[in-house]
Structure 1
Amino acid sequence: MNRLGYCRAFRAMLCVVLASVTGGPLQAAISLGEPRPLSTAIERSEKPAVSPDGTRLAFISNRSGADNIWVMPLDGEPTQLTHETRPEVQTSNPRWSPAGDFLVYTSNKGGTGGFDLWVISADGQHDEPLTVDPALDWMPAWSPDGKRIAFVSDRDGADGLWLTNLDGSGVTKIADLAYEPVWSPDGSQLAAYHIAGQADGIFLLSPDGAAPPRCVLE
């Protein structure tokens, strides 16, 4: 991985900033055209996630009276995937698996007193907790091979970046004060916003801890 991308929007133009791992930022602009509403419901719809094949959109909405995950084709109508009825339950951060057959998300519906990661099949038939801990587990990111999930948690008393296998085993902390993890395409590195002493910015992190965090953009 030799470049990182992040976005800034200016009116009808999307400004894509590519941060070179070895040098300064590069910049390119992509015209967005006219926005097209995918949902016209008056209820809240947020946290969109496009499927890997680009044909479906997962999002959170309270249109059923409580926070739930909904999935819709980009040219069709939404279908409710989870069926929570308690308005006090919060659900967020849906993320597709690389194959598009599962989603991982964050919810406090499990009764642990915290927010856990849950994994649900794309057809809604299987919905199981991945983490069970009275902590805040959030910002999940699926590894490219689909075998691990990186996430942010305060389970040891302070925010940090953690990894877990899909069966809930191998829960390991890899960095303190790291957020918004993104995997490299080959799964060898994670990029994250990281606070390290007096410095903060985008860092490259090793999933196995073999290399110290390296700042590529302050």
Structure 2
Amino acid sequence: MAPRLSPDGRRLAVGILTREGNADIWVYELERGTRIRLTTDGPQTIRPAWSPDGTRIAFSSNKSGNTDLYWKRTDGSGEGGVLLSRPGDQWLDSWSSDGQVLAFQELPPDGTSGRARDIWLLPLDADPFPFRISTFYERQARFRPGGGWLAYVSDESGQNEVYVSPDSGSGSRAPISIRGGSEPVWSSDGTELFYRNGNKMMVVEVGAEPSAASLPRLLFESGGEFETNRWMPYYDVSPDGERFLMIRRAGATESTGAEQIHVVLNWFEELERLVPTDN
């Protein structure tokens, strides 16, 4: 679940779900093909986000009852620690490129009237503060590399759309997607914003002002064999912007009934194999 490439593109952090329904985070060395189990907290320890220097991973876990925010060193050493624990459920989205702020979506505690999911920001040296609170579902907050802006998804229009707003939490927002969009992921240089619309992968060129962003452009369309998710991006983009990392559903096996997940790194070669074209 929610694959995340390290800042240098050499490692992969991903949540792996067991047959029993528990989930923990594993870290893969892509060149060597090795892996370590980073967490053993369960029952749901998911949503990894790398620190900019690649030495720590923050994540969400419900090991204490509510879903709270934690961190651990990427080599598995040490015990890690708690980043935020409070009533309600806190679902991690991303880590700012300066390493100072985390973005997360909160499901308020029972009895909070009229609210769905809200986006909050957590400075590592201060208390969390709201970025977007409403009666709608706001989620999938992704900091722009280099700072300044935050992409997120809201259903305020009646369907999911991607927006960009100043990462300070103040100021106007700019709509990015057209006729639906979710799972925003920035390019490593912050000049492009990718998102999904069903099985379509779209891209928008974003300059200094998102309000002047380009029209969405179709990159490719799959046949539905790759996982998507309404709460968090189920793909990532390599630091050089040349490859997409996707999760492919292989289907249930006859012997165990378990679902097999394949990571696809060379997306464009895979796409040509699955969907041949004449040009």
**Which bin holds the TM-score, normalised by the shorter protein?**
0.7 to 0.9
Structure 2 counterpart of 1:20: none
Report the CA distance between 1:43 and its aligned residue. 3.3
Counterpart Cα distance in 2 of 1:109 and 1:189: 32
Counterpart Cα distance in 1 of 2:187 and 2:159: 25
**TM-score normalised by length of structure 2:** 0.60
Contact 2:59 2:70 survives alignment (8 Å):
yes
The residue type paired with residue 138 of structure 2 is D
Counterpart Cα distance in 2 of 1:144 and 1:210: 16
Q: Residue 55 in 1 paired to residue 55 in 2? A: yes
Report the CA distance between 1:42 and its aligned residue. 4.1
Counterpart Cα distance in 2 of 1:155 and 1:35: 40
SS in structure 1 at match of 2:40: coil
Structure 2 counterpart of 1:217: 220
Q: Deviations over 1:162-212 (max 9, x none)?
A: 1111233212222131111112233222111125xxxx4111113334422
Counterpart Cα distance in 2 of 1:204 and 1:31: 28
Contact 1:131 1:168 survives alignment (8 Å):
no
Q: What does 1:86-165 align with in structure 2 at a 5 Å threshold?
A: 89-109=88-108, 111=112, 113-123=115-125, 125-165=126-166
Contact 1:96 1:104 survives alignment (8 Å):
yes
Contact 2:93 2:142 survives alignment (8 Å):
no
Contact 1:103 1:119 survives alignment (8 Å):
yes
Contact 1:101 1:121 survives alignment (8 Å):
yes
Counterpart Cα distance in 2 of 1:175 and 1:93: 23
Contact 2:184 2:194 survives alignment (8 Å):
yes
Counterpart Cα distance in 2 of 1:44 and 1:158: 28
Report the CA distance between 1:79 and its aligned residue. 0.9
**Compared with structure 1, are the counterparts of its residues 32 and 155 closer, same or farther at alpha carbon in structure 2 (3 Å cutoff)?**
farther
Q: What does 1:1-218 align with in structure 2 at a 5 Å threshold?
A: 30-31=30-31, 33-74=33-74, 75-85=77-87, 89-109=88-108, 111=112, 113-123=115-125, 125-165=126-166, 166-176=168-178, 177-195=180-198, 200-206=199-205, 207-218=210-221
Q: Give the paired residue count.
A: 185
Report the CA distance between 1:32 and its aligned residue. 5.0
Q: Deviations over 1:87-106 (max 9, x none)?
A: xx332233100011110011
Structure 2 counterpart of 1:25: none
Counterpart Cα distance in 2 of 1:188 and 1:38: 32
Q: Deviations over 1:109-144 (max 9, x none)?
A: 384512111000124x32011001111111111111
SS in structure 1 at match of 2:163: strand
Contact 2:42 2:61 survives alignment (8 Å):
no
Structure richer in strand, relative to its length: 1
Structure 2 counterpart of 1:10: none
Counterpart Cα distance in 1 of 2:141 and 2:58: 15
**Compared with structure 1, are the counterparts of its residues 38 and 215 closer, same or farther at alpha carbon in structure 2 (3 Å cutoff)?**
same
**TM-score normalised by length of structure 1:** 0.76
Q: Deviations over 1:63-90 (max 9, x none)?
A: 12211000122222121111124xxx33
Counterpart Cα distance in 2 of 1:194 and 1:42: 31
SS in structure 1 at match of 2:134: coil
SS in structure 2 at match of 1:181: strand
Counterpart Cα distance in 1 of 2:117 and 2:170: 15
Q: Which runs of 5+ in 2 are unaligned?
A: 6-11, 13-29, 222-279
Counterpart Cα distance in 2 of 1:169 and 1:210: 17
The residue type paired with residue 214 of structure 1 is R
Structure 2 counterpart of 1:11: none
